[in-house]
């Protein structure tokens, strides 16, 4: 009952967001002697461009999987004498850093270089197998010592990652609200705290997403940009921290996980696939009007509104059935969103979405 997956926790110890925020990194590293940065090639180049401090770092490159195997490899190979781990990159890099810190039993910090998920804030990880198929959600006992979101760095990050972040964050509301409704948890104050955070994420992104994406195009830090960044990282991370399993995954992420079985979706970003899953979940719930309301927003902001948007254009019916079978399986979370969860229920929703968006 009191395992980490079921315990409400705060997010990061410090959430630092603003232009030039990386300037505080050296200060936050006071007292740590041997930091280890875990990163990728492009992420580390972005970090070096904006980090003007004086610390020297041991640097480990992850293998792209966010797997326990790679976490263990890095811990074994680089972990000697390390006293703090710093994840510099996107979701899989940062989730890898959480796992390495857990193996080493050390503190960790996060420096996001893309605006894609709540990974820099939330003390959980999407863990994959070495072949990049989804394995499980991993829970870690430590929350981040600090999350440093440098808006100048993030303004130069790839726009498609921000689009994916918008999709992943929108799912917070659509998954949380169905979990709370179906479990009659409106009166639980911690759950309600998570649900209110989820509502803020939806409202803030529907209001600020267009302006934030425009800010990226003009390379200008604006209020809309900061609001959207903080929503994707911190507010959305708070949904699961307080709502616990009533603020986590339902149908949208189950569809995402099913897509891991379809090779051509592997290059599509996590949040983009989740955005497609939102629409499938809503149709399975019978909420066609909400899907019709969202589709124009999706099209305007390059979210995934049908299978072609996630590179599935051949053998479509076969792949619908494969995704649906996985998403509707007992080990997955689609069953939390509907009364009757079968592969045919999910597949029917996917086919309906294809018809609506021809």
Known binding site for glycerol: residues? 168, 253, 270
- CB contact at 8 A, 145 and 120: no
- CB contact at 8 A, 141 and 107: no
Q: If we measure between CA atoms, which residue out of 217, 222, 232, 336 comes closest to residue 281?
A: 336
Residues belonging to the binding site for NAD(+) are 91-95, 128
Q: If we measure between CA atoms, which residue out of 179, 332, 352 comes closest to residue 280?
A: 352
Residues belonging to the binding site are 91-95, 128, 168, 253, 270
């Amino acid at each position: 009952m009191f395992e980490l997956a079921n315990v409400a926790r705060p997010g990061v110890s410090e959430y630092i967001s603003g232009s030039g925020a990386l300037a505080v990194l050296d200060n936050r590293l006071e007292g740590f002697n041997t930091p280890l940065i875990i990163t990728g090639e492009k992420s580390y180049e972005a970090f070096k461009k904006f980090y003007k401090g004086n610390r020297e770092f041991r640097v480990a490159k992850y293998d792209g999987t966010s797997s326990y195997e790679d976490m263990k490899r890095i811990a074994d190979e680089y972990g000697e004498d390390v006293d703090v781990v710093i994840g510099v990159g996107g979701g899989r890099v940062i989730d890898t850093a959480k796992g390495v810190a857990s193996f080493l039993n050390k503190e960790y910090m996060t420096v996001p270089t893309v605006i894609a998920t709540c990974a820099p804030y939330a003390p959980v990880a999407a863990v994959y197998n070495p072949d990049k198929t989804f394995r499980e959600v991993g829970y870690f006992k430590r929350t981040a010592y600090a999350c440093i979101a440098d808006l100048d760095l993030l303004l130069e990050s790839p726009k498609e990652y921000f689009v994916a972040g918008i999709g992943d964050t929108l799912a917070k509301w659509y998954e949380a609200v169905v979990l709370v409704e179906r479990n009659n948890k409106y009166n639980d104050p911690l759950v309600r705290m998570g649900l209110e955070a989820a509502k803020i994420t939806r409202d803030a992104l529907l209001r600020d997403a267009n302006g934030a994406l425009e800010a990226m195009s003009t390379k200008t830090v604006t209020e809309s940009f900061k609001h959207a960044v903080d929503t994707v990282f911190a507010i959305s991370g708070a949904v699961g921290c307080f709502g616990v399993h009533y603020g986590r995954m339902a149908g949208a992420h189950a569809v995402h996980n099913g897509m891991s079985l379809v090779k051509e979706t592997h290059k599509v970003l996590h949040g983009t696939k989740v955005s497609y899953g939102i629409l499938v979940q809503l149709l399975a719930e019978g909420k066609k009007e909400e899907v019709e309301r969202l589709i124009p927003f999706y099209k305007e902001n390059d979210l995934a509104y049908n299978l072609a948007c996630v590179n599935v254009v051949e053998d479509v019916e076969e792949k619908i059935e494969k995704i649906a079978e996985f998403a509707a399986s007992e080990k997955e979370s689609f069953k939390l969103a509907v009364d009757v969860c079968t592969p045919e229920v999910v597949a029917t929703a996917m086919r309906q979405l294809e018809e609506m968006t021809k």
